[in-house]
Amino acid sequence: MRFRNLIFPFSLALILGGLSAWLERISTVSVEEVKLDPTKPQYIMTGMLAHRFDVSGSLKEELLADKSWQLPDQQNVYLQNADLHTFLNDKPQYTVNGLSARYHLEEKKVYFEQKVLLEKMPDNQRPAATVETENLTVDTVAQTAQTDAPIFFTYGKSRGSAVGAFYDHKTGKLDLPHQVKALIYDVKTKN
In a domain, 159, yes or no: yes
pLDDT tens column, 115-169? 999 998 888 888 888 999 999 999 988 989 899 999 999 988 989 999 999 988 8
pLDDT tens column, 1-35? 566 777 777 787 888 888 888 888 878 777 778 88
**Domain span including residue 68:** 43-183
The pLDDT, as a whole number, for residue 135 is 95
The pLDDT, as a whole number, for residue 20 is 86
Strand partners of residue 71:
none
Once rounded to an integer, what is the mean pLDDT over residues 45-66? 91
pLDDT bin (cut points 50, 70, 90) of residue 187 is low
* Count of structural domains within the chain: 1
The pLDDT, as a whole number, for residue 182 is 79
In a domain, 190, yes or no: no
pLDDT tens column, 59-105? 988 989 999 999 988 899 999 999 999 888 888 888 999 999 999 99
Over its C-alpha atoms, the chain yields an Rg (Å, rounded) of 30
Q: Where are the beta strands (DSSP E) in the chain?
A: 43-53, 59-70, 76-88, 91-104, 109-120, 129-139, 144-155, 158-168, 173-175, 178-183
In a domain, 69, yes or no: yes
The pLDDT, as a whole number, for residue 180 is 85
The pLDDT, as a whole number, for residue 73 is 87
Amino acid of residue 24: E
CATH number for the domain spanning 51: value is: 2.60.450.10
In a domain, 122, yes or no: yes
Whether the Cβ atoms of residue 168 and residue 144 lie closer than 8 Å to each other: yes
The pLDDT, as a whole number, for residue 155 is 86
Whether the Cβ atoms of residue 153 and residue 128 lie closer than 8 Å to each other: no
In a domain, 9, yes or no: no
Task: Identify which of 141, 142, 117, 133 has the alpha carbon closest to the alpha carbon of residue 165.
Answer: 133
In a domain, 175, yes or no: yes
With 80 as the cut, is the pLDDT of residue 108 above it?
yes
The pLDDT, as a whole number, for residue 112 is 95
In a domain, 127, yes or no: yes
In a domain, 29, yes or no: no
Amino acid of residue 146: Q
CB atoms inside a 10 Å sphere around CB 103: 24
* Higher pLDDT, residue 178 or 191: 178
The pLDDT, as a whole number, for residue 49 is 92
